[in-house]
Structure 1
């Protein structure tokens, strides 16, 4: 066995200490470390490194070696040739790093000083790789900081309103008409719009855009009907010489000046996913008079926006035209439902379940839920209006855009899935749903009840809650293609996911009055789209297609469209693609949505998705099939009515 002191004697005997060579034991190794200095690229760089062949053995093996064998191994590895090779490797590395640091504007000694400081058994080559990695990270951080700064310089959200040239040049004024459901606020705004020489109505839903389009068509001026166009993401009905437009809010034309604009459901400024469209509408509606119509809790937010935009503001708070009251107690049984009731559930499955239960009691039923196309919702609502349906069973979709002669709202639940978890509905939604009861001019008062005792008491409490005002800052701004092109121009980035990330994290938001927002769906889609050879514009368009990723068939269709576009292939529709009478209700509903999404794409990329008219025809056919199936199911459930 050898003694540790023998190693010190060996180093002295071989005169290695004077040559800057040390024998070291650490990290489970016995190795040689060479010390030296190189003067290269104007730098004086000391080092203490393990040469390529500097690791001699594991300690257990080293202890078993005879003194002569250890001396021979040290002499073999610690020679002049090894010294020169290490010195040359260090020089070459210093030259390489100095050049890269000069290109990046970094100080090379910030990285090279570690060559003399590291206490490790790793060979020099591994140390060089680690320093290269550190430099790479530093360069990437520096690039990110530069790109962040360039992004901040290219987009300043404080200047967001100025990006709407026409609105900025017009002498605009705001008129806020605020009140609960059934206060006549939308009617008052639409009357002003109909009297104006030109104007635009901006709706939260295709259904509302369609209803008010038809409402404007009934207006006569100088003995002629008003020339009105309908513009939604999925449909265009363009009238020659149109003076008025009914549009979904996302489809606002910011370049054509009009006399009056009506922005409906203004409280949606606070909506998590779509609030940015209302911010854009308030900032960019190119009208001399802009009506802001919605719930009273939007007042402070409207006042803040008007002040920021330097637009004079009138606020009119309207009261409900008929009283709204809670029933003394819950409904408790289906047999206690009566004609004129609207039964509210919060999922398609529950709506259809309650529909069957109500129909089995002998009532005719209209059915309304979010998955239905606007055409089907209108047809179902019309049955309730004309009395061919006694009771309407629906989701909170009836809370916005469907005017029906409901006498009593009956809530089957007060818990709703918010996209993340089940939670109690907010008081604002409870008020909006309840407000649909007691249509002015038809019923003397509106009534509200819970189906069970717990829901009844929750609704009573929610309707007593004081509305929470909307925030007066942090108004959402969604990225436009122009924003993304600006960021791409200053950063060289072409990946949509990274451009969106830069928009969210790097643009300048000096006082937070306007704030960047994107949806989770858009971000997830962007990452997948970045795997395809598409332009930024194409990826951006595809990321916004209004089709849910939660339905496998729709997600599959969307992916197919994206991959076809990447290959520059034209995607056509065939009338024999789907046989509607062989499908379930859910499948036909999804087909409606698929055709609508195709039409949406077709308006934006007509060269590759040319069958817009066919898509709209097939969507209408599928909608008709859905309506027919709902009627058949309603009739079937009524036939199952138990005998008494």
Structure 2
């Protein structure tokens, strides 16, 4: 007879089988299982469980016990008292669980059947815990489904255009001027805006808003114009016209004309939602849509959806653009009027040094520079103080420069994740800056090396795909989040943003919810602070780079201070000046601009907006001065080396 057969016989002899007790060996344990059932409001609930003291031994130790020892242990642990105690525990647990299920509208037997079915070697208490966890998960799933359904009912993106009440009441007409760079499309739209009794210009960049603010002023000295960007506001009393960044559109004040520039930005991954909002919400009788020809299908689809008349004009480039026969290959082959393009700050400064050492004076333009510095550097190139402009693709938008030839040092750009070849649309936009109409009869494009030259030739020949005519991005507003919070009880910004993206109703996909990864990452961090949803939402949008340690720390300090209801002040004496290197001065510009941005929105806690703007301008002047000093030093080195070489001859 085997050990197991003997154990079964022993359990029978002791009368345990008749009382619903079995001996089991499982998962490295020898243990007792008690079976039975309890009655609860007419429900029969069977169980098959291990009592608290039901584990007898490990199999190796059990085998070493004599039969008498096994019998004694079985009688001790399988006593009627032990069985009665387990029965009472099951009754109490079932009653508690039934009550919890009633609270949540669930059926208790959906969970209590596990008392018989789980077949675990764990003691009953652990089985009870597992069943409670199942209930908690089911409740969470039920709550999630209920909240998801309530979120769907609270926001229907098909009705998104109706949220712009003023625009919906106006009889709006769209006029699209679409075409390549140097086709005069912006000029036509701005002429119409300057002649209108009231209007707004919407730009993708502060720099463009500033340029067209001054352009409107120059068009008519009697025209009253305000400048409104996230970081700066120049408010003219009684202004009839506003030059603004697209995110700052006032959708409540009707005007005669609106100009939305760079309309192809509708497809931009991070900022496209601002253009969707502008097209849907611009409160103007005539809305000019200005941008690349590839946006035609998209703007026509939007006009149809918004039930607005649309008139499309496709413009051609005024000055021809052509590839040079061959690559530049040598620094000495660069000439006055060239724009040398790289795609990182480091590479721009490296090429700047090489070009100046080759004997040409340089203006420098890249994204990290403030608009004021970019303007100052561009003006030097316009005035002829600089022979060449060395820059990133920042020159492709917002700077009108007298470039005769664009020279690409590379066609590879870091996209935030990895380096990849630039899209044909960007290649064309950069190249299009060559041959400014009225300055040069023709524009030229070249690669610095043979490979870059050949890639650019191919990119400029590539047919650009049209923008999608559906799936237009919509970013959450504070009103959206408050609606979701009202129906779900959520106060976590990260969860509210996730619900906006995943749970709102998107009936036909024409409009689609979108948030940026950076905003969501910030939201998770902000949820650790005692802040209102409104304050967290505002802080999640502060335009400051999380990749720059000093700027990220400053942002975190502002957030913590606000959570403690402390006022964050600036002091003029805090700003370093003479000892700041280029990187520090650039970061200072961005820091003070970001303070101004948040100060406009939370003035009680960030009251020093005027000082922040002064400090930003001072830091910008420092950047410009450093760039000029470095350019001069490079040229002196070049001239000194040239003189020494002549002397040796």
Partner of 2:465: 468
Query: Which of 527, 530, 550 in structure 1 is aligned with 2:527?
Result: 530
Q: Is the 8 A contact 1:219 1:225 kept in 2?
A: no
- TM-superposition CA deviations, 1:478-514 (whole Å, max 9, x none): 0000101111111111011111111111111111111
Aligned to 2:619: 622
TM-score (norm 2): 0.98
Please name the residue that 2:71 is paired with. 71
1:512 correspondence with 2:509: yes
The 8 Å contact of residues 575 and 615 in structure 2, kept in 1 or not, is answered as: no
Which SS does the other structure have where 1:594 is aligned? Answer: helix
- Which consecutive residues of structure 1, in runs of 5 or more, have no partner in the other structure? none
Give matches, 1:443-454, under 5 Å: 443-454=440-451
Look up the SS of the partner of 2:175 in the other structure: strand
- Provide the rounded CA distance (Å) in 2 between the counterparts of 1:410 and 1:6: 92
| Structure 2 counterpart of 1:552 | 549
Following superposition of structure 1 onto structure 2, how do residues 4-83 of structure 1 map, counting pairs within 5 Å? 4-83=4-83
Q: Name which of 492, 495, 498 aligns with 1:498.
A: 495
Task: Trace 1:78-157 onto structure 2 (pairs within 5 A).
Answer: 78-157=78-157
Separation in 2 of the partners of 1:209 and 1:607? 27
Q: Cα distance, 1:41 vs. partner?
A: 3.6
* 1:601 maps onto 2:575 in alignment: no
CA contact (8 A) 1:6 1:67 kept: no
For 1:205 and 1:252, locate their aligned partners in 2 and report how far apart those are by CA, in whole Å.
13
The answer for the alignment partner of 2:379 in structure 1 is 382
Q: For structure 1, which segment, 445-454 or 35-44, has the greater mean C-alpha deviation from structure 2 after superposition?
A: 35-44
Shift of residue 19, structure 1, vs aligned partner: 0.9
The residue matched to 2:117 in structure 1 has which SS?
A: coil
SS at match of 2:574: coil
DSSP 3-state at the match of 1:23: strand
TM-score by length of 1: 0.99
Residues 365 and 391, structure 2, Cα contact 8 Å, conserved in 1? yes
CA distance in 1, matches of 2:457, 2:72: 94
Distance 1:29 1:49 in 2: 14
**Residues 347-366 of structure 1: CA distance to partner in whole angstroms, max 9, x if unpaired?**
11111111111111221111
Gap change, CA 1:454 and 1:3, over 3 Å in 2: closer
1:219 deviates by: 2.9
Counterpart for residue 185 of structure 2: 185
Contact 2:152 2:503 in 1 (8 A): yes
Q: Distance in 2 between the 1:454 and 1:426 partners? A: 16
CA distance in 2, matches of 1:426, 1:403: 22
SS in 1 for 2:286: strand
Q: Hey, what's the Cα distance between the residues in 2 that align with 1:184 and 1:480?
A: 35
List aligned pairs for 1:176-575, cutoff 5 A. Answer: 176-220=176-220, 225-575=222-572
Take 2:233 and 2:335, find their aligned partners in 1: how far apart are those partners? 40
Matched, 1:584 2:575: no
CA–CA distance in structure 2, aligned partners of residues 2 and 490 of structure 1? 65
Task: Determine the C-alpha separation between the residues in 2 that align with 1:340 and 1:219.
Answer: 28
The alignment partner of 2:113 has SS state of helix
Q: CA offsets per residue over residues 39-95 of structure 1, 9 Å max, x none?
A: 014421011111111111111111111111111111111111111111110011111
Residues in 2 aligned to 1:391 and 1:2: alpha-carbon distance in whole angstroms: 96
CA gap of 1:426–1:2, structure 2 versus 1, over 3 A, is closer
2: CA distance between counterparts of 1:122 and 1:103? Answer: 28
- Select 1:633's aligned residue among 624, 630, 645: 630
| 1:468 shift after superposition | 1.0
Query: What secondary structure sits across from 1:272 in the alignment?
Result: coil
Shift of 1:31: 1.0
**Distance in 1 separating the partners of 2:75 and 2:85:** 16
Cα shift at 1:2 = 8.5
Partners of 2:4 and 2:135 lie apart in 1 by: 40
Residue pair 1:2, 1:65 contacting (<8 A) in 2 also: no
Secondary structure at the residue paired with 2:569?
A: coil
1:2/1:63 contact within 8 Å kept: no
Q: Displaced runs of 4+ in structure 1, greater than 4 A?
A: none
CA displacement 1:221-271 (0-9 Å, x = unmatched):
xxx610111000001111111110000000000000001000000000000
What residue ranges of structure 2 are gaps of 5+ in the alignment? none
Task: Specify the SS of the correspondent of 1:261.
Answer: strand
SS of 1:33's equivalent in the other structure is strand
Tell me the CA shift for residue 9 of structure 1.
2.2
- 1:560-604 deviation per Cα after TM superposition (whole angstroms, max 9, x unaligned): 000000110000001122312101101100000000000000000
Aligned CA distance change for structure 1 residues 65 and 167 (closer, same or farther; 3 Å): same
Q: Deviations over 1:440-489 (max 9, x none)?
A: 11111000000000000101000001111101111000000010111111
Q: Hey, what's the Cα distance between the residues in 1 that align with 2:345 and 2:30?
A: 72
Whole-angstrom CA distance in 2 between matches of 1:27 and 1:450:
70
State the alpha-carbon separation in 1 of the partners of residues 483 and 616 from structure 2. Answer: 37
CA distance in 1, matches of 2:589, 2:382: 24
After superposition, what is the alpha-carbon deviation per residue over 1:133-191, rounded to whole angstroms, capped at 9, x for unaligned? 01100000000000000000000111100010000111101000000000000000000
